[in-house]
Structure 1
């Protein structure tokens, strides 16, 4: 499984082979930045959980994606999805089917606006919901496509629930390369969960540091966590001194 470290501070990105960066960290930035392989996140969780809607249109997000596409190797940009946990539904006043439809609408619009590959996101709450969302996407999801699995980050305390969701998707579309959003150490160290995923991201290192009274923005905390996860999977820690620079 390919692991992407979630980071708050852009100067730290150069120290990691794979990074996961929210568009919210880039909106006020003017100059290019040093980065290696990375995925841009849409900031969906913050937008929906805080405001109950997206403050930024697909056109606005697409402009950010295209603007930063020349920095390092931007592998993917995550679509603007709508999470389906009960507290998210309460924020919008909508139901799961409506959230799933909105997620697909945003994906369709972004695909037409961007020069970068957009990662579609499967949404739901039960395994059946995710399978239904697969049906809703239809032929949009190509063979072997990288696809995000949303609304699982709040289930890290119960890996069995995550397993059921991933198994249901894998049974229906075993070809898809799934990405798990916001996994914590319990799931990242579960060999079966990681076997069902192609990739995952996490900022669990920051939350743990804050909870334990340490620096939640520490580069060393992030490095320790990243190397812990990647070593466990039999990959070498990333130790490049000089990272790939933006193509300016």
Structure 2
């Protein structure tokens, strides 16, 4: 079984990049952020909706899938600028091969501590469930790809359990927070994928977001589990090339790097060894906080996570101040007891 390589496109404008992607006839991926309309008339970026007309330019691509832009949304805007209903409107506007659920990434620059990671996993669960419900109402649930999140391998299992997927209907699952991850180690890419391989039923397949090219030589042994990977890393190579040569980073330059990068990824997959030893790593043991205020914070966050997953609190509505107020009530109750 071959692993598909999806080429991440920076936009769908007519030009060299889109022409080259159509000529290559490889599956492509577009980010919701790349299809967003913005205004700075008020002095800050204001989201105005989608560039639906740009999707007409995708005709002729081998296939096109849609990513919710979770990392970009958190890194640039501090959260999703659009609501779940807005995103599903975009997903329903074009026959995407699949569209990824909205999710909450946990890269270290976004979730710097363990509690924030756990918070974001709960929000990812709720976002997935909301997307599933909305997609079902719009008749596009069959094209929805759930996305699981985590830092440690067991985090992804926790997220998977929260989604309660029916694998007779859902065959493809996205694995988020992969692109800035080491290949090896207890929280490495291979540890995560090996763990998921052990716990998923036979029909469950994975799409690994943003996998490093250096990891591809290790993935052929997981070809029975990994359906596809994607990356837009060629854009970085094009920028470096332009800087070194003192030339403009034109779409033509980016298109050449895109074709060169894609060929290199296919070569890595073809030449990789199919045999490899899975990494068996012990789960990390948590040490509970000893400070009473920190205990109250931990309890507050745990209670809020449950409410988020149950749909009592919207996944977009949580703030650190809100958590602290919740913890203050717990702290006062403990002092009074």
Q: Distance in 2 between matches of 1:189 and 1:213?
A: 28
Is 1:208 matched up with 2:237? yes
Identify the structure with bigger relative contact order (alpha carbons < 8 Å, sequence gap 6+): 1
Of 189, 192, 204, the residue aligned with 1:162 is 189
By how many angstroms is 1:179 displaced?
A: 0.8
By how many angstroms is 1:174 displaced?
A: 4.3
Q: Distance in 2 between matches of 1:90 and 1:61?
A: 27
Would the aligned equivalents of 2:33 and 2:72 in 1 still touch at CA under 8 Å? no
Q: Distance in 1 between matches of 2:215 and 2:209?
A: 11
The answer for unaligned runs of 5 or more in structure 1 is 235-248
Q: Deviations over 1:132-190 (max 9, x none)?
A: 2222222x2414610011111101x4345111011111111143201110122111233
Q: Distance in 2 between matches of 1:158 and 1:216?
A: 32
User: Which residue of structure 1 aligns with residue 263 of structure 2?
Assistant: 227
Aligned length: 228
Would the aligned equivalents of 1:210 and 1:216 in 2 still touch at CA under 8 Å? no
User: Which residue of structure 2 aligns with residue 30 of structure 1?
Assistant: 53
Q: Distance in 2 between matches of 1:166 and 1:62?
A: 28
Would the aligned equivalents of 1:52 and 1:88 in 2 still touch at CA under 8 Å? no
CA RMSD of aligned residues (A): 2.5
Q: Deviations over 1:89-146 (max 9, x none)?
A: 259x9622321222122222222323431111111101121122222222x2414610
Of 207, 210, 219, the residue aligned with 1:179 is 207
User: Which residue of structure 2 aligns with residue 14 of structure 1?
Assistant: 22
Is 1:60 matched up with 2:60? no
TM-score of the superposed pair, with normalisation by structure 2: 0.61
User: Which residue of structure 1 aligns with residue 279 of structure 2?
Assistant: none
TM-score of the superposed pair, with normalisation by structure 1: 0.82
The answer for unaligned runs of 5 or more in structure 2 is 36-49, 244-248, 271-337
